[in-house]
Structure formats: C-alpha cells, structure tokens
A and B are shown apart, each in its own frame.
Chain A
Amino acid sequence: MNRECICEKEGVVDEFTEEQWRQVDAIIAKYRTKPGSLIPVLEEVQGITGYLPEPVQRRVAFGLGLPLSQVYGVVTFYSFFTMTPRGKHQVRVCLGTACHVRGSKRILEELEHKLGIEPGECTEDRKYSLDIVRCVGACGLAPVMVVDEDTHRQVKVAKLDQIMQKYNGSENPEE
C-alpha cells in the first residue's frame, strides 16, 4: 500500500500561485536529466517560493524521481534551506562574542517579545522573520542587528521601535 499518498490528503492549503508552481516545474525540468542536481534545484526553487514546505519538497522529489526522504534529508541538513516561511523583512540579531558582551541578547529578547516569535520563525502575517547570526564583521560598533540589507549599529533597546518603524511604514505607506 502506498502510504505516501497520506500526505497528499492532508489538505495543505495551496499558498503558491499557479505562476510560482509553473516556475518551480520549469526549474525541475531544466535539471531533470542531470544527476546530482538536487541542491541547485532546491536553491532555485526556494528563490521562487521563499521556503520549502512539504508540498514543494514533494513536487521536487517526484519531478527529479528521488525519494522524498532524501529531499527532506538535504533540506534539513543545509541551514540555507528552510521549511518555515520567510517574512518580507529578515531581522537578524548578532550574537557573536563582541555583540553578546554588549548586550545583544537583550535586544533579541525584546524583538522576540515585540514580534511574538522565536528565532527561526516568522510572524503570522509573514511580515518579519527573526534569526540569529554569529558576527557580521561590525564588531567595533556592537551590538549589531541587520534588517534585510541594512546593518544597524550600536542598537539600544529603546531605539528598537524607531528602527522597526521604518519597515512597518515602507510596506504599507497608506497605513
């Protein structure tokens, strides 16, 4: 009995657009005949879908003719791949030695509290995801947090609201 189809029935809401699925299939088609292409495929696919939930992994596995467990193994092995959705804005707090000494742990805690998520997660409205990094090479101006491409230096807990404001506004100017 092919139990794999149980997952088929779990009724995951399809959150991706047809266009996205089409692109995913195109990537798979491009690599189909090349052996050992699982990692590049996952990389490109994640670029389209933002993250790699089970339905996406299943599509890749069937497309490349690989066992599901193998795809899952690779996705969970490389930290680059993620099975949780990413937010519009990536908030990363440095917990490297220098930043840690200057109290970045508190910044992280404060952000966790404000966003209501833990590192590695994403807010329900998919606006922010929160992660930890170990040193971004700006130790001189610790503590450091990075939002998308911007590095914020000498961050203070009191200044957090102000920093985050920028990203709140930029996305929904009319609010």
Chain B
Amino acid sequence: MKAVTLTIDGRAISVPNGSTVLDAIRKAGIYVPTLCHDAVLKPYGACRLCIVQIKGMRGLPTSCTTPVAEGMVVTTETEEIQRIRRTIVELAIANHPYGCLVCDKSEECELLNVARYVGAQQSSVDRMRRASLNKAVDTSNPAFDFDPNKCILCGKCVRICNEVVGRGAIDFAYRGQNTLVCTFGGRPLALSACQNCGECVEYCPTGALSAKQTIIPQREVKTVCPYCGVGCSMLLGVRGQKIVRVRAAKENSVNTEGLCVKGRYGLDFVNHPDRLTRPLIRRDDAPKGAARRKPADDFREADWNEALDRVAQGLARVRDESGADAIGVISSAKCTNEDNYIIQKFARAALGTNNVDHCARLCHASTVAAALAAFGDGAMSNSISDIDCANVLFVIGSNTTECHPIIGRRIKRAVKFNGAKLIVADPRSIELAEMADVHLNHFPGTDIALLNGIMREIVTRNLYDKKFVTERCEDFEPFLESLDRYPLEAVEEATGVAREKIQQAAMVFGKAKRAAVLYGMGITQHTTGTDNVKAVANLLMLTGNLGRRGTGFSPLRGQNNVQGSCDMGALPTVFPGYQRVSDPQVRAKFEQAWGRKLSDQPGRTLTEMFQTIHDDKIKALYVVGENPTLSEPDAEHAKGALAKLDFLVVQDIFLTETAQMADVVLPATSFAEKDGTFTNTERRVQLVRKAIEPLGETRVDWQIIADVSARMGYPMNYSSAADIMEEVAQLTPIYGGIHYDRLENGGLQWPCWNRRHKGTPILHKDKFTRGRGKFHVVHDNPPAELPTRAYPLVLNTGRILEHWHTGSMSHRSRVLEAIASESSIEISHVDAAQLGIEEGDTVSVSSRRGTVRTKARKTGRVKPGEAFMAFHWWDAPANLLTNPVLDPQAKIPEFKVASVRTMLAVLERAAEDNAFLSALAENPAGILKSYDLTPEHRSALMNGDIAAIEKWVGPLEERLKVWLKARLKQENLAEV
C-alpha cells in the first residue's frame, strides 16, 4: 500500500494510505487521550477527546475518524484543545460515582487515566453534577456485573458485541439522560441473547462492566486455551498459585476475535478442590467395576513409588502372560504433543504394541482416512484467517458458533462485513443458519445425497473448474458418471430439501472465485463418515477450491490438541508424522532411534479395543486423560468392558467416571502446570507455558510415563518438554523445523521441514501431497438406524457452547456450571404437542440401548421428527442412547443418528406397572378398539373424566392428570 507522509507536532511521519490521523499520532509515539476508540473497532468518533488541529481544516476534527492525507500538518494539543478535552472529561465524570478507591477496575480504568491527564477539576465536576446515581445494577450474569451508573456511553461494549463477537446482545436504548446500554426488552443479561463471553468487559474503559470476582493478578503467563481445537492464545493472570483472570493474547491470526466463555471463565477447574493430588490404589476388598458412593471406600492413597511399581508390575504381568498386544494404551487429545509422543513411544518401544489410539477415533478418524486418500494429507488445508478472504463459506455439519466459537465469530464477521456468502447445511436451525444465504436442513445422515446433488447441479450448469480437474486431479470420469444417480428430484426426496435451495446452493458455490468448506462432526460421525468426507473433497476439487488463499478443506478439529495427538502418532497404524508402521524403512528408522525391535502389526483402534475386551483379546488398559465411560457410544457396554479388564490404569486430573473403575489412579498436572505444545486445527504448533506449580503431588504426564517405562526396563531420559520436541523434530519430517525457540511469537504451521522453513499456511498449493487429487465415487447410504414406530425420533448428539465433552473440566467451573447446569433434550413444538410434553418437563428418552432422564426444551431449532441432546452430563449420558455401529473404513461410531422415543417421565413411571397406561400413551385411539371396556370406562375416556379414570386405574400424579386430559382432548376420541 502507498505510504503517506504528514507532519505531527513538527515531526514528519509516514503511514500507509488509509490510516487515520490517530494511527499516525500513535505511530509517532505521541499520546492523545481517547475513550471510544479501539483498533479492532470501526472508527466511531463519539467521545471527541481525540480532537486535533489540522492546518487548513475548519474546527477541531476527531483524529480517530479523519483519514490521513499527504502533507497534512497536525497539532495534537493547543490551549483550546486542552480546555475542551477537560470539559469533555468533566462532563463524563460529573454523573459518575466517586468510588474509585473501591472500584474493581480502577487499576486499569481508562476514564481515570484520562481524567488525570487532562486535569479534571473537582469544582467544575461538582457544578455539573446532576442526575442521581440510582440506576439498577444488573448482577444476573454469573461472570460479570453491569453498573450503568459507571457507564460513560462510549459504546465500546455495544460495538464489540456487534462487530467482533457478532452477537449484538446489547445496544443503546432510550434517549437523553435516560440513555442506557440495554438488552432487548431491557431484560437482565442472563435472560438475553448474551453468550457470556466477557469480551465487552475486557474493552469497557470504566468499571461499568466488571468481572464479579476481581482479583488483580501478580503476573501474566501466555499460553493456549485447553478447551477446543481453535487454540486461542491467552494470558493467564496468576496470583499465588491460582488463576484469577484470563485475557485474550492476540499474538497471531488465530483469535483476533478474543475468547469465548469457556476460555475466559472456564479455567477455574485447575484450582478445583476435586483435583487429584495423590496416587490412588484400589483397596483389595473393593469390587471391580461398580464404583461405590465414596471414592474413599474404593481407594487408598499411596505414594508415587508404590503406585508406579504397581503399574509396572501389573502391565508386565499381562504382557508376560498374554503378550504385549493384550495391552491397550489410550492417549489424550487434551495432553501436549510431548506427552503424546512419549505415550506412543512407551506403547511401541517399552510395551511392544501398536495398540495406541485416542479420541480422534471418535471425532475425525473419517477425515484422516478420507483426506489421506483424496489429498494425501489428513489435516485442514488452509488457515483460520482464510475465512476473511473467501467469497463463499459452506458450513456443513458444524454448529460452529457453539463448538468452535472463535472461528464462528470469524465466519459471522466475514458474512456481515466482507460480504461473504454463507451456505449452511445442518438439520437444525443453528445460529449460523439464521444468517445464511441458503440453509439446507437435510435429514440427518443424507449428506452424500445432498453433496452429490449439489455437485451434479454444478456440473450441469457448467460451473466446474475443468482446468483444475484435468491438470491436478485423477479418476474424474467414473466420479462424473456416478453423479447421474442424483438428479434434483431424487435428491429432494432423499434429503427433504427443496430443489430450489439445492440449485441455489450449487449456483452460489459454483460461481464463487474463492470458496471454503468448513465441517465438523456432523459429517464425520456417521457409518458413512469416510464417504461423507470424500464427498466434501470431491466438491472442492470439482470447483478448484484448493491450494489458494480463501479456499480449502477445513475439518474443524474438536479437542485442543487432537491434531497434535494424531501428528505425534497416537494412532495404531502410524508413527509420528503419519509414517506407516507397516513400512519397513520407516520402522528401521524408529528402531534405530528408539533402540528396540518394533511391531509391524497395526494396532487396535479405540473402538476395537473396547469391543475386544469381551473376547479377552485386550486384558489391560492404560488410559491417559480420557473418559470413555461417557464418550464411547453405547456407554453401558463400554463400562461393562472396563469392569472385565485384568488391569486398568487411569492417569487424569480428576477422578472421572472411568478413573473410578481403575486399579491404580495416577494424578497428572493440568495444562496450566506444564510446558509443552498444542497443535490447533489449522496445524499451528503453539507453546503451552507453565503458569503455576503442580498441585499437591501431581506430576506431568510424560514424566509419569517415563517413570513407568523405566520400571519396565526401558528408561527414557529427557530434561524438558523442549528436549522431547528436539527428538520429534529429528524423526518427524513435517515437524522437522519445530523448535521451542522458534515458537515464541505465535507458533508455526506444519509442514515445517527445517530450521529455516517458515511453516505452511496453505497445503496443496501447486500439487497435492499425494501428487494428484483423487476423486472417489461415493454413494448415499442410509444411517444404520432408521426411525420406527417404537422409536420414532431421530436423535442427534453434540455439544453446547458452555460445556466440554464429558464435563470433567467444565462442570467444575463455577461460571459455566451456573450458566448451564442441567442437561436437556431439544424437541420440536410439533412433537412436544403430540407427546403432551411441556417446556421443562422431565422426560425419559430411550433407544434400543438404554434410557436417560432429562429436561425437555421445546424449540424451533429442530425439525419435527428430530431431537438433539448434548453429551456433557453423567446423570443424563446421551451416549447411553447412541448407536455403536462403526464406519467400516475409519471405525468411527455413528454418534449423530440414533432412533429414540421420548415420553413424560411420570408417565413412564406410571406405565411401568400399568399396561393400560402404556397402551394409552402409545395409541389412545386404539384403546377403545382393542380393550374390552365397560360403558362407564368408555365414557370416562371419551369425556376425559379424570376422576372416573382414577377410580379405575388408581391415583395419578398431578402432571400425569394434566397430560392425560390434554392427550384425550387432542385425540378427539368422540369421533373414533
């Protein structure tokens, strides 16, 4: 961009064209007070504090809104400017409480700074003081308070919420003296559209918005969020050994939009009293499996020596009796790369088995399988920042704003401010669907039909990229032919999406110069998961949307370090860097480096390990930081399997549902107590830094493993996490240039081949990793379970914004738990009405595998015939219901489609011992026909005479009576 030169207070300064005068002033290192300006916001010009004098311009323009021009002569302060600024500030504080000494924000209050700078006078403030300071304080939000009396109406919060967060929960309302920052309808924040992210609190220049528990940190440590795969950098504010505040550290392009509620307010789990601090050993008399009420009944505390000896002996015994392949090791996508590297090395070199896997199996195994086949690389092809440059964003099977909130914000910003078009394919009307140009609400499990239908339209309309297809891809012909099976009519019928919408989506996507597809578990967690991903790959190749900025293949990885765990080879078929265990050359390299003979047998996947425990193939499990009793499909089965093991070791930060079944529990440190690296969804390796000392006797995961390994005759000696990464770099080409000293400023994106390589923001630039991009023929296949009369609803499962997976962390956060403390099932208004279910009713949800109780939420977000449940709660584990059938290629379970039925819990209880009631619930009309009823009973039913019915079937609960009455009325029995 062209530079412009101007003079500021007599000094010449050059800035890029398009900068504001304020930018230039700041660049010159001159202070000008501001209250309403922030670099991340659009210029606003409300407070008028930043006024300056510009030669040749009338009046005193606000520097924050005035663009620079060549040769401008700017004076930042004159006597007049000083006087005006003082008056402005005095007016702002005239109606402000004087309680600065006890205000939580005073340390960083911009108003206070500015008042000092301009020299506000007590006498004039007193003169201007007018209104009373009695506006009500909103304390409804669990994380922060809003005190309108301290608000100076700078509008930063309003603009942050709108421009950066993309939520628009608050705005100015009323006028004159009554002007107020306000939610819709003046509701308390807790009942508004506010998502509790606290972004506005971070920017508010006064104490108007301030955190509920403000403790000023002694120091701040830069690290990476431990929740999701976005990998936001953050500053942990530490006081003593406690995390007391979290702020966004915007050091790279990952989270220019700040932090979500989990990152900012969800980290108090680190200091939770439930943290395990000493090793536990199962008491000799404690039965295996069934955990008792108090952990103390099952476990006794032990010292590290004893616990580690037990683990080493237990594993050695199984290995000696049944061979190394009878041991399974489950690594963790929550742990660092270094932990994962050591864990898989332990499994392969110390134990001698490739039975090592982690939860990626349950989320993106299908992505890795399909993308390796299509492109030769299983990861996200482009960077998060590419969203800013795309013309079209196609989001399929991802509730991005809840599951990857900061990427969600980026999408919203791109749509609102860059004019990007948005296509959303999701059975539910998620937040993004509301702002989409096209929302394709297809039936669950019909993604291939939908995508093939769209591709056929693109081909028919000649909107595909012939050059890209011929020059860079292969196997196009058979793929093209396969699309013949997907004419519009057929696709409309299969997916339930109107053909016009399919056409529109095809036009929008096909015509785009730069289009990106972002997807999540809605694509991968199906029996057709691998094929679904292949269809996505086909779409991108067909339209040439790969290898350029603003395009790309974007699987949104779930866990903070699931990408890294895969990279580090915590997978049964590959060493670090996706080097195959079956490849003799690769094996030779690792055998030499690790000094052990290594198995060439691919190991068992996580899901297979659980399935083979029952046939005695797996006898011992070493589980690090995972909670499969809640995260595995058909959780009841998984629990049974664990109980059957000879030996179970769990290494975790809490006594999870899984740990409760262990023989030995080893207490690990949390992310805040260790050094290491996480690799986020865009392949960026970022530094995790130790902020506090390990709690109690906890130890870092890799150190624990190394100690067990030494006891089993395979010592591993590393002085630090950085030391481990040096070994990784030597053995893993894609991590070849990853060294700690290079990661200080925002990290590096792999592949990074050597010390001088700058990392790779975009993959497949001139050619695909595998050479040519490969088209695959994929066909529509129905989900394994389809709705039946007994189980008429299709249950979709997933996550919500405020919680994380099985909740070991998020349920132990005060704020997150306060916002969402209960599980619920989302059902449509139509189904609710038909089932006689009201908002907040306790309902029981059953599938062929089990039953859970939860609260009903009626919503327009799900279609009739469908339901949604998050899997975060142990008292309502959605995964008791889900179907454990696997995708044959990637072995990923079908979490997204299960058939269930819902009924009022009181009804179910009553029906248990009353055949008549259950028949009535099923089909009231049928009762009159199939039951031999007396005339009195008949008329009681027809007239909905509850008292008479009670006399006959026995007393009914209140809620049940209401239900029955409504049900009988709805059925209109009189006409039967």
Residues of A with Cβ closer than 8 Å to B?
1-9, 54, 57, 62, 65-73, 76-79
Provided the pairs A1-B820, A3-B193, A9-B858 are in contact, do residues A72 and B173 lie with their beta carbons within 8 angstroms? yes
Which has the most chain A C-beta neighbours within 10 Å: B171, B186, B194? B171
Closest to A66 in B: B168
CA distance A72 to B175 in the complex (A): 12
Measured between beta carbons, the chain A residues less than 8 angstroms from B193 are: 2-4, 67-69
Q: Mark B157-171, 1 if CB is under 8 A from A, else 0.
A: 000001000011111
Provided the pairs A1-B802, A1-B820, A69-B184 are in contact, do residues A76 and B173 lie with their beta carbons within 8 angstroms? yes
State whether A72 touches B182 (Cβ < 8 A). Answer: yes
Measured between beta carbons, the chain B residues less than 8 angstroms from A62 are: 434
State whether B859 touches A72 (Cβ < 8 A). Answer: no
State whether B168 touches A2 (Cβ < 8 A). Answer: no
Provided the pairs A4-B193, A9-B858 are in contact, do residues A73 and B819 lie with their beta carbons within 8 angstroms? no
Measured between beta carbons, the chain B residues less than 8 angstroms from A6 are: 191
- A11 → B minimal CB distance (Å): 10
State whether B171 touches A70 (Cβ < 8 A). Answer: yes
Closest to A65 in B: B435
Can you give 9 A-B contacts (C-beta < 8 A)?
A: A1-B195, A1-B802, A2-B431, A4-B193, A6-B191, A65-B435, A70-B171, A76-B174, A77-B173
Provided the pairs A1-B800, A1-B801, A7-B185 are in contact, do residues A69 and B174 lie with their beta carbons within 8 angstroms? no
Measured between beta carbons, the chain B residues less than 8 angstroms from A9 are: 839, 858
Closest to B824 in A: A1
Contacts of B586-608 to chain A: CB distance below 8 A: none
State whether A72 touches B185 (Cβ < 8 A). Answer: yes
CA distance A68 to B184 in the complex (A): 6
Report how many residues on chain B are interfacial, defined by Cβ distance under 8 Å.
35
State whether B802 touches A2 (Cβ < 8 A). Answer: no
Closest to B180 in A: A76
Whether, in the assembled complex, B31 has its beta carbon less than 8 Å from a beta carbon of chain A, the answer is no
State whether B182 touches A73 (Cβ < 8 A). Answer: yes
Closest 7 CB pairs of A and B: A67-B168, A68-B184, A73-B171, A69-B171, A76-B173, A73-B173, A4-B193
Which has the most chain A C-beta neighbours within 10 Å: B173, B175, B184, B839? B184
Measured between beta carbons, the chain B residues less than 8 angstroms from A79 are: 175
- B526 → A minimal CB distance (Å): 25
Measured between beta carbons, the chain A residues less than 8 angstroms from B819 are: 1
- A159 → B minimal CB distance (Å): 35
Measured between beta carbons, the chain A residues less than 8 angstroms from B87 are: none
Closest to A61 in B: B184
Measured between beta carbons, the chain B residues less than 8 angstroms from A70 are: 162, 168, 171
State whether A67 touches B169 (Cβ < 8 A). Answer: yes
Measured between beta carbons, the chain A residues less than 8 angstroms from B861 are: 2, 5
CA distance A20 to B192 in the complex (A): 27
Whether, in the assembled complex, B172 has its beta carbon less than 8 Å from a beta carbon of chain A, the answer is yes
- A42 → B minimal CB distance (Å): 14
- A8 → B minimal CB distance (Å): 7
State whether B185 touches A54 (Cβ < 8 A). Answer: yes
Further pairs besides A1-B195, A1-B801: 17, Cβ < 8 Å: A1-B819, A2-B431, A2-B861, A3-B190, A6-B191, A8-B859, A9-B839, A57-B184, A67-B168, A69-B183, A69-B192, A70-B168, A72-B171, A72-B185, A76-B182, A78-B175, A79-B175
Measured between beta carbons, the chain B residues less than 8 angstroms from A1 are: 195, 402, 800-802, 819-820
Measured between beta carbons, the chain A residues less than 8 angstroms from B162 are: 67, 70
Measured between beta carbons, the chain B residues less than 8 angstroms from A67 are: 162, 167-169, 171, 184, 193
Whether, in the assembled complex, B860 has its beta carbon less than 8 Å from a beta carbon of chain A, the answer is yes
Which has the most chain B C-beta neighbours within 10 Å: A5, A8, A67? A67
CA distance A68 to B192 in the complex (A): 10
CA distance A57 to B858 in the complex (A): 22
Measured between beta carbons, the chain A residues less than 8 angstroms from B839 are: 9
Residues of B with Cβ closer than 8 Å to A?
162, 167-175, 182-186, 190-195, 402, 431, 434-435, 800-802, 819-820, 839, 858-861
Measured between beta carbons, the chain B residues less than 8 angstroms from A54 are: 184-185
- A134 → B minimal CB distance (Å): 15
State whether B191 touches A77 (Cβ < 8 A). Answer: no
CA distance A77 to B170 in the complex (A): 14
State whether B175 touches A77 (Cβ < 8 A). Answer: yes
Closest to B801 in A: A1
- B182 → A minimal CB distance (Å): 7
Measured between beta carbons, the chain A residues less than 8 angstroms from B858 are: 9
- B472 → A minimal CB distance (Å): 38
CA distance A68 to B175 in the complex (A): 18
Provided the pairs A5-B859, A9-B858, A62-B434 are in contact, do residues A69 and B182 lie with their beta carbons within 8 angstroms? yes
State whether A72 touches B860 (Cβ < 8 A). Answer: no
Provided the pairs A1-B819, A5-B859, A62-B434 are in contact, do residues A69 and B170 lie with their beta carbons within 8 angstroms? yes
- B163 → A minimal CB distance (Å): 11
- B500 → A minimal CB distance (Å): 17
Measured between beta carbons, the chain A residues less than 8 angstroms from B802 are: 1
Closest to A69 in B: B171
CA distance A25 to B819 in the complex (A): 35
CA distance A62 to B858 in the complex (A): 19
Closest to A11 in B: B839
Measured between beta carbons, the chain B residues less than 8 angstroms from A68 are: 168, 184-185, 193
- A7 → B minimal CB distance (Å): 7
Measured between beta carbons, the chain B residues less than 8 angstroms from A4 are: 184, 192-193
State whether B171 touches A8 (Cβ < 8 A). Answer: no
CA distance A62 to B819 in the complex (A): 25
Measured between beta carbons, the chain A residues less than 8 angstroms from B190 are: 3
Measured between beta carbons, the chain B residues less than 8 angstroms from A77 are: 172-175
Measured between beta carbons, the chain A residues less than 8 angstroms from B174 are: 76-77
CA distance A159 to B802 in the complex (A): 64
CA distance A20 to B172 in the complex (A): 29
Measured between beta carbons, the chain B residues less than 8 angstroms from A5 are: 859-861
State whether B184 touches A72 (Cβ < 8 A). Answer: yes
Which has the most chain A C-beta neighbours within 10 Å: B169, B193, B859? B193
Closest to A5 in B: B859
- A17 → B minimal CB distance (Å): 21
CA distance A4 to B191 in the complex (A): 8
CA distance A82 to B861 in the complex (A): 31
- B400 → A minimal CB distance (Å): 14
Closest to B190 in A: A3
Measured between beta carbons, the chain A residues less than 8 angstroms from B184 are: 4, 7, 54, 57, 67-69, 71-72
State whether B194 touches A3 (Cβ < 8 A). Answer: yes
Closest to B170 in A: A69
Measured between beta carbons, the chain A residues less than 8 angstroms from B170 are: 69
CA distance A7 to B183 in the complex (A): 12
Measured between beta carbons, the chain B residues less than 8 angstroms from A7 are: 184-185
CA distance A2 to B860 in the complex (A): 11
Which has the most chain B C-beta neighbours within 10 Å: A3, A7, A57, A71? A3
Measured between beta carbons, the chain B residues less than 8 angstroms from A72 are: 171, 173, 182-186
CA distance A67 to B802 in the complex (A): 21
CA distance A9 to B431 in the complex (A): 18
CA distance A2 to B820 in the complex (A): 11
- B595 → A minimal CB distance (Å): 52
Measured between beta carbons, the chain B residues less than 8 angstroms from A73 are: 171-173, 182
CA distance A2 to B862 in the complex (A): 13
- B415 → A minimal CB distance (Å): 10
- A168 → B minimal CB distance (Å): 34
CA distance A117 to B692 in the complex (A): 63
- A67 → B minimal CB distance (Å): 2
Measured between beta carbons, the chain B residues less than 8 angstroms from A3 are: 190-194
- B266 → A minimal CB distance (Å): 14
- A75 → B minimal CB distance (Å): 8
Measured between beta carbons, the chain B residues less than 8 angstroms from A66 are: 168
Measured between beta carbons, the chain A residues less than 8 angstroms from B435 are: 65
Closest to A78 in B: B175
CA distance A2 to B428 in the complex (A): 13
Measured between beta carbons, the chain A residues less than 8 angstroms from B173 are: 69, 72-73, 76-77
Measured between beta carbons, the chain B residues less than 8 angstroms from A76 are: 173-175, 182
CA distance A72 to B431 in the complex (A): 20
